[in-house]
Amino acid sequence: MNKIKLISLLAAAAVMTGSVAMAETYSATGNGYHGEMTVNVTIEDGKITDVELGDNHETNVVIDRAFPVIRERILEANTADVDSVTAATFSSYAIKTAVADAMQQAGLEAPKVAMQNAEKTATERTAESCDIVIVGGGPAGLAAAVSAKQTNADKNVILVEKLDILSGNGKFDMNFFDMINTEAQKAAGNDEWVGEAGLAKFLEEKSSNGESAERIQVWANEEYNLDAWLRAMGVELNYNYGGNNHMAEDNQYSGEVIQAGLEKAAAELGVDVRTGTKGVDLVMEDGVEPVDIQEIITLRAYITNLHTMPAGESIGYPQKFRSGTDLQLATLSVGFADGIPVDYARGQGPILVHGRRTRFLELCMDQSIIDVTGIPCKVGDEVTLIGQDGDERISVYSIEKRTGRTFDALLTFISDRIARICR
C-alpha cells in the first residue's frame, strides 16, 4: 500500500514538473532613431511576460516616455505587432523588431511589424462635459493647463494631445530659456539683468529684433514672475552663464526639465490628461454651427525653371526615377536645406500647383523638382507645399503621417532661409 502511494506521488510530481515551462530571457537589437537599441524579452510558456530596454542611444526625453507605452502594448497583445508610439516612431519600430526577433529565438511565430500604424477611424464618440479644454501637451499647453487649474481648482480641466506621449518640440528646442531678474542671475552676480536695470536692458535688446513695444512690455513684465512660478513647481533653472539665457544646470538643457516639471505639476493638480486624442472641432454654444479647426500655416515656393524630360531619362543624384513617357518638370526654389523632408519628396509626396494636386520627383539641397505635366504654369508661379490652394489642401498632419515626423519637428526644421510672413 505504501509502495503504491509512493509510486503515485512520484508520477504526479513528474507530471507537474513536465507541465512547467521555465521563463527564458532573449536579447535582440533593433535600429532606433540614434542607432542600435538592445531589448531583453522574457518569454514563458509561449507568452511574453516582460520587456526591458537595454543599451541604446535614444533621446531620454523621448524614450523615457515612449518605452512604457510600447511595453504595455506588447505585453497586453502578447506580440510585437502593435501600434507604434506616435512621436517616437523610429524608437517604437526598433523595439518591435527586437521583440519579433526574440519571439523567433524562442521558437514562436514572429510577426511582421510595420513602421507606421494603420490609420484608424473613430467608430464611437462619447459626450463629456468640462469647464476648460486645452489642445496640445507641449510646454505651452501644459503651462496653460497648470495655470488654469491653479487659478480654478474646482474646475474640470482637460488637456488633449494627439500624440501618444506628452511631448511638444519645446523639450528639444528650449535649450536656453530667456528670463530676467532670476535667482540664478542674482547668484551669478549678473546685476545688469536684475531689477529696473534688467527691465531696461531687456526692453532695449528685444526692441532691436522688430518686436512691437506693447508685446515687449508684457513679455518683460511677466518675466519677473516666471522664475518664481517655475521654482514653485520644482523647475529650477540654476545655470546662468551671462545674459538672460538659462539652463537647468551647466550640462543640462532647460527644455526637458521644464517639460518634466510641468507634467508632474499637471498630474498633482488633477488635470485630466488624454494622450492619443486629437481635437477636430470647436463647437460653440447657443446654436452656433461647429467651426472646423484648420492649420493656419502655409508654405509656398516659386517655380524657377521649366523643362521637358524625355522618356527614359533620369533626374537627380540617385537617378532612381525614370519615366516611361515624356514629362514636363518644374524646378522649385526650395530643397532639403530649407527643411523639406527628403523621404517625403523622394517618396513622391503631393504638392499643389494652381489648385491641382501633383507630386514631387526629386529633392536636392537648394531646389526640388516636381511633375507639372498637363498643368499650365510659368516661371515665377507660386506652388503650395503646405496649405490651401483652391479646393485642395495639404496639411502638416498629412506629411506627418507619411514621414513619421511630428508636427513640431516638421515646422522646426523649416530653415531661416524661408521668409516668415504673418497675416
Cα distance between residue 278 and residue 136, in whole Å: 9
The pTM is what? 0.62
The cell for 90 is 523610429
CATH dotted code for 132-282: 3.50.50.60
Share of the chain above pLDDT 70, in %: 85
Instruction: Name the architecture of domain 299-412.
Output: Beta Barrel (2.40)
Which residue ranges make up each domain of the chain? 19-105, 132-282, 299-412
Count CA within 13 A, CB hemisphere, residue 71. 16
Instruction: Name the architecture of domain 19-105.
Output: Alpha-Beta Complex (3.90)
| pLDDT tens-digit readout, 283-308 | 666 656 555 666 778 999 999 999 99
Residue 159 has pLDDT above 60, yes or no: yes
Q: Cα dist. 340→172, 203, 317, 336, 345 in Å?
A: 19, 35, 17, 5, 7
End-to-end CA distance of the chain: 97
| pLDDT tens-digit readout, 356-405 | 999 999 888 999 999 999 999 999 999 999 999 998 989 887 888 788 77
